[in-house]
Every structure is written in structure tokens, then in C-alpha cells.
Structure 1
């Protein structure tokens, strides 16, 4: 019989709407007992190819773009991406031979269409891809060129399980990013060996205390033990927005790690919410102001922000129905979804669109729960895949590591947790005690991992430390 897990009386998320830390009781009855309908998207990474998966230029690995399909455009033009944003057309010309894939609403998250200049097309499985750039294949590295209103977040979540995928939004700011990407940030300088780790801690039992211990402290211990790294640690009451901005300007770090609540209010003012959605909330409960960063040049850094909505929001939260409807968490998530709708968070957009742009922003579209940061049976932290991604993987000694590849373990882990959900549902149907708690816990963890997203191109990698 599976071990019974510790079931907390309530859970917290890393969101701040101006009223306090948001909590919710766990439901007395979870919504999936005695039914076998599979609502999850369990897609493990495909088998390894002969090529090094870090080599996105290898034809058996490959890179390509995903655009919304448009039946008014001739097939030959769609095959070449001639209807794409001019900056993306420039990138396609630079990365000659890259496939242009299309998403259609009727495909949901299951298929992508690939057109060819001779008038043919293939509808290709997004779950069981044949990796590469050859006809009938989907590249391992994919760049979605659309906001989540045009190509939903759910497509990116699904592709996270089988490919290395990032997203940019076509806008007037995209040209600077593509130019930097093509030139590999030549003329810009950041320092990968000078990471900045900034973590807010409001003390127990606030979730920020757990995030600091489970993420920021572990990552900092890795950097501090490496003599090549001379980064800066900003924590506890010193984790203010002023100190973060000062460190960014002074050090020009190659990697920025922040753990905090994310701004999710006020939901009564749609424009204000959209301007500050997901911004890190500092030790004084003050949101980071984009104007504060005006004097910082990201210059090719990578930023990981562990905060609710740090990467954006969706028009419907994936946690709908999992928690009591009258809880503060459920009300906040529903209000953010109905007010902000599907969007990329302003911090990510601002930094990717800067004159000296960020390489990539990695964040969450949904919240993290305190319950899902540790194993409820033994109390151990379950952030190993994340911490491994941002140090061991990102700083591999033999070659530069694309951010998409570095994060692969997080999405593989999501697949494992989705598998555990299925096992727990079988247990529910067989009346095994405690299986409802197992199903809920594993579902929340899986969704937390899968809704981690890259804003920017998944092929970007930090420069070699000088």
C-alpha cells in the first residue's frame, strides 16, 4: 500500500494582490474519483538522437518557428514564412533551411502543420515528434512567434514535454532582439560568472521562506562553492527593489535568480494589473518598478523569476476546480484570468525588447504552492531538477548550453508526476486510502513544472565565463 502523505490544512501560493499572502483550504473531496477521463498531457521527452541535443544546428536536432496559420496566404509563402514579422523573416534567412510550422485552432495542442513550397503539407504530432529538419519532422528547438492570444499557452505547455520551446511576441521591439540573437550579442557584455541571487523572505509560515530555502539557498551554495563565481547574494530584509536594481547595474550579471511573490493585483483595475502583472514583490511588499531598471542593460543575461505570473497569465487558470471556489486563491486566480486574460508579463516583454536585450526570461504563468515545493511524505525539497537546470546544466564545461536544453529535466519531471496522477486515480477507483491526496499533490506539482515557460529563443546560451 502506498505511504500516506502529509496533508496540510491549507496551502499558500507565491502571489501578492495587496491584501496579504493568499491561502486556501484543501478540498475535502477532489474532483476526479471514480472516473478514468484523462485530463492531463503526459508527454515525455523523446528518445535521444545520435547528435548532441545541445547542437541545435544539427539536422537531426534542428530549430524552427511556429506561426499562426493563415489560409489567405498562399501555401508557398506560408512554407517560407513570408507572412511573418520582418525580424523573423530576417532570422529565417540567417538560419537557412529552418522549418516554418503552423498552428491551427482545430489542432488544439496535438498537431502542427508544415507546408512545403511544392504545395504539400503534413499535419505532424506534437507529442511524438520525429526530431529534425527533414520533411515530415519537427525540430527539437522551436520558437513560437505569437502572443498567447494567438497561440495559446497550452500549446507551449504541451510542446514543453517533447521539445525545447520558447516564445516571442511580434512587435516593434522584436527587431532589436533578433539582431542581438543573430550576432550572438556581439558588442554587449554580461558576466555569467557574476550571478545575482535575490530572495525575499517574510519568515515562516510565508511561502517566501520556503522558496528561499528550496531554491535560492541551494543555488547560491552551488555558486559559492565554485571558485570561478563571484556573484552577489541579496536576501531577507535586504531584498528590496532598490538593492536588486543596484546590483544589476553594478555587476551586469549573466544570470539573475529571483524568488518572491508575484504581483497579482489590483484586479479591479485592468490596465494597472496588466502593467504590473507578475512583477517581483520585495521585502517591503513593494512591486519592482520597470522604471527602476531603466539604467540597467540586460546585455544578454538570462533571468529566472520564481513568482506567480512572472511570465504572464491565461484567460482560464489551469487550477480551476482543484481548490474550493470560495478560497482566496481561487478567487484571485479567477480574477486575474478574467481581468488580465492571456498575456506575456510586462517584465519579460520589457527586458526582451530592450535596446540591449535579455537573452531569455524564464518564469511561470501559474502560481507555485508551498505544498508542492517539498515531498509531503519525507519533507525533502523537490526542486532538484530546477536547481540542476540553472547551475549544473546551464554551466556545462564542454560547451555552451542552450536554455531550452538546460531546463529539460523540469519537463521530464512533469511527465513523471502526471504518471503518478494516473496511478493515484487507479488507487482511488480501488478504494486505496489516501489516494485522493496523492492525486491532488501530484497534479499540482506536474502543472507547476509544465507551466514553466521560456520567453525568448530556446537556443540562447550564456557566453563562456571570462
Structure 2
């Protein structure tokens, strides 16, 4: 403002007991004004865009391999896949970035070590570590290469609550087939490749109150309905509904060969016997049981069909494998039918079931197999009081997420994300001593955590 209208005095909001505190400007007020100009305004850059969780190649997301701890290796060697088969070493080389191989972490079989992975000589708490490939980070996508007797299922249960986790335990030609297809992204599937716009749902149904009817109603039928309503996938969706037609092993094999679906959902019993013949039980562990109580055998399926990059979700007891100890030990009356079944299956040991092993190692392999290590209880699928189905998180993963398409590990994140809320519910009902509610939540938790991915967690439907 012109000097003639500048304020003659400035007043402050302070009081020293003598009156108003105001004073005229000093003769040098202009010099003071120029000398105390504010610093140049600093430009604040926007934060970089968030990493796309689908992009495992981004170092802020990352892909890594988990191997068993090998005490014969040095700390530097433990960060490599030097003790793994050549196809796995090639996978680590090819999935590296900036001239460096991909991250290799180790599971150390020590008490209290669940939830930690070792990078070289450093133990990293997985759930408290950032995503990525940095020195103190743990990749978002983790592939376990080990049998369940080398890296237990419970390690996979723990890791998949905060990471996208898959497992391979193939060897020899089967491993060669899978890794070659993975690195080539199934481009070599040829005429035998799975159709991206074809889906197959197969639901065995023994009726008369059998749990297969409940699995059909809560999983198979809703998935089929969602697929059929999709304008792109709907025309190619085929539902073999055991409540209305012959959901036999032969019908499944024929549909696979004729339609070559890219996505398969099956609901059925899984074979867990004969309990008194361990070798035979192990050989047919978890195989789907059709509506006529016949087994779906992998060698029969593969006579006229090659998976060609399909993804298969199988809801069947032990469809993914078995363990040395059941998560439900002590739940059922000792000596009862289910108790004897659960205890009998543990005699098979910790292993991957034969169906996913055969399909993942086929000449034109499956992309991923999603299945269960434990049985599903009827209370897991349906609320006891309201009769409402509790499978929405699973259905969301199998359709809304998987058909985005998201990597299979990321697509199942909604399923595993419910674990925290279920444990909160469990504690709330514990305070109220609502034991049946506590049991329901715990059954859902155990069913969810024992749902595992076999195959690489980065694979996605070819859409």
C-alpha cells in the first residue's frame, strides 16, 4: 500500500499491565521487510503410484522361492537355489530382475519358527515385513518347492494368510513339464490348450441328506450360476449337476476331453480309504468320488485330455493332500466313524494327493490346483442357526476375482482375509461362553486355512 496509508502503529495481543501494547514502525521497516522474505516455496512431489499387486515383476511386489533349510550350505549359498533341481534354478534365474536372480528364502524347521523365513543368515517375520524383493522385504508371491514332509502344510497355512502362496513338489519329467509351461506362459499348449471362454462345473450328489448335496447347493450351483450369467463365459459353461443327471467319473472325463475348459470346479467326497490298507489309501488319497461311488482317476482323465493351462478347484476331503496330524484331533468322539477316518488318513503321512500331482506334471500341465488338506464339515458350509451358506468369500474368489483375471494367489485373498474376523468372533463368543458359536467359527477357520494352492501363485486364467 502507498506509504501515506500505511498503518502508523502495530498492535499485539499481549498485555504487560500498563495498557494497550502498540508501537509505530521503525524507520528501517522497509529493510526488515526485504531481509526477511519467506524462503522459496518448495515443490512437493506426489508420492509414486502404488504398486499393482497383480504385477509380481514389480520389485515392490515381488516373487520368491521358498526352499527347505540346508545346513550344509553357507549363508550366501542359502540365498540361491543351488541345491534345487535344474528347472527350479532356471525359474529363479528367469524370474530375477536387474540382472539378479529372484529371491530365495528358507524355512528353518525349528520350534517357534512358523511365520519366519530366512534370507541368508537373517530371519524375517513374514507378516511384519514389507512386500517386495528388498533385503528386509518378503515377496508378495511365494512358491514353496518342497514336499509337505520337508516344509509342513502348517507353514503354508501361516504364509498364505498374508502372502500369495503356492506349492510344487514335482520331480523329474513332471517338474520339467510344469516349469517349461510356466516360463512359456502356456503358449505352447497348442490345440490341446484350455479354452479361456469354457468352464466346467461337476457336482456329485448322493442325496438323502448327504453332505454332497450341501456342497452342490453352497458351492457348485452358485458358481455355475455366476458363470452362466457372464456374457463372455456363459455360453461356454457346462454344469454336470448330480442332482439331475449322471455326475459320473466317465461323464467328467468325457466333458473334459470334449470341451477343454479353462476353469474347472468339482464338489464331491474325497477318497480316504480303505483305512486298513495304507498303501492303497495313499495311492487313491483324495480322488473325487462320483455319484456312483466310483473314483475319478487321473490316468483315465489323461487318456483323452490334457489340462493345457486350466485351473481346477476341487472341494473334496484330502483333495490336495494329507498330514501327519489332523487339525481336528480330539473334536469327535473317540472311536466314532469320523474320528477313525481322520486318524486313519494321518497314516498316509504328509503328502500331496495324486490327482494334483498328475495334472500339474502332465505333458500339457494344469496351471494350478486348489484343494483341501482336511475335510469340510457341514457346519462349515452353513450357519447352524440361520441356515445361511457361508461360502460367499470362496465364491467371490472363484468368480469375481479369478476372472478379472487376477493371479490365483491374489484371487483367493478374500477367502484368507476372513480369518482375522473369524478369530475376533471366536474371542467375542469366548467371553460370552457361546461354545457352539465358537465351534462354528473354529471349524470355518480350519477349513479355510487348510485350503491350499498347488502350482505357482502368479498364474492366472488366460483371459
Provide the TM-score with structure 2 as the length reference.
0.85
Q: Secondary structure at the match of 1:105?
A: coil
- Confirm or deny: 8 A CA contact 2:181 2:188 kept in the other structure: no
Map of 1:445 onto structure 2: 444
- Match status 1:216 vs 2:220: yes
Q: Secondary structure at the match of 1:66?
A: strand
Map of 1:326 onto structure 2: 335
Q: Distance in 1 between matches of 2:106 and 2:144?
A: 10
- Match status 1:232 vs 2:244: no
1:40-119 alignment to 2 at 5 Å? 50-96=50-96, 97-106=101-110, 107-115=112-120
Q: Secondary structure at the match of 1:202?
A: coil
Task: After superposition, give the CA deviation of every residue in 1:297-353 in whole Å (9 maximum; x if it has no partner).
Answer: 00000000000000000000000012222221111000110x211000000000001
1:338-377 alignment to 2 at 5 Å? 339-377=347-385
- Displacement after TM superposition at 1:364 (Å): 0.1
Map of 1:290 onto structure 2: 298
Task: After superposition, give the CA deviation of every residue in 1:232-257 in whole Å (9 maximum; x if it has no partner).
Answer: 11011411000000000011110010
Q: Distance in 2 between matches of 1:203 and 1:405?
A: 35
Equivalent position to 1:309, from 318, 325, 332: 318
Task: After superposition, give the CA deviation of every residue in 1:363-396 in whole Å (9 maximum; x if it has no partner).
Answer: 0000111111112232111111111111110111
- Confirm or deny: 8 A CA contact 2:297 2:355 kept in the other structure: no
Show structure 1 runs of 4+ deviating over 3 A: none
Map of 2:427 onto structure 1: 422
Map of 1:11 onto structure 2: none
Give the total of aligned pairs. Answer: 401
Q: Distance in 2 between matches of 1:367 and 1:313?
A: 10
Map of 1:263 onto structure 2: 271
- Confirm or deny: 8 A CA contact 1:277 1:345 kept in the other structure: yes
- Confirm or deny: 8 A CA contact 2:223 2:395 kept in the other structure: yes
Q: Distance in 1 between matches of 2:424 and 2:274?
A: 37
Structure 2 residues not aligned, in runs of 5+: 1-48
Map of 1:300 onto structure 2: 309
Q: Secondary structure at the match of 1:210?
A: helix
- Confirm or deny: 8 A CA contact 2:197 2:261 kept in the other structure: yes
Pick the structure with greater CA Rg. Answer: 2
- Confirm or deny: 8 A CA contact 1:103 1:111 kept in the other structure: yes
Q: Distance in 1 between matches of 2:284 and 2:129?
A: 37
Q: CA RMSD in A?
A: 1.2
Q: Secondary structure at the match of 1:440?
A: helix
- Confirm or deny: 8 A CA contact 2:144 2:168 kept in the other structure: yes
Map of 2:184 onto structure 1: 183
Q: Distance in 1 between matches of 2:262 and 2:170?
A: 25
Q: Distance in 1 between matches of 2:137 and 2:424?
A: 27
Q: Secondary structure at the match of 1:418?
A: helix
When residues 192 and 204 of structure 1 are mapped into structure 2, their CA distance, relative to the original with a 3 A threshold, is farther
Q: Distance in 2 between matches of 1:266 and 1:423?
A: 41
The range that moved more, 294-303 or 124-133, is: 124-133
Q: Distance in 2 between matches of 1:82 and 1:98?
A: 13
Map of 2:42 onto structure 1: none
- Displacement after TM superposition at 1:170 (Å): 4.3
Q: Distance in 1 between matches of 2:74 and 2:65?
A: 18
- Confirm or deny: 8 A CA contact 2:320 2:370 kept in the other structure: yes
- Displacement after TM superposition at 1:214 (Å): 0.5
Map of 2:130 onto structure 1: 130
Q: Distance in 2 between matches of 1:221 and 1:325?
A: 40
Task: After superposition, give the CA deviation of every residue in 1:127-177 in whole Å (9 maximum; x if it has no partner).
Answer: 323211000110010000001000000000001111000000141121110
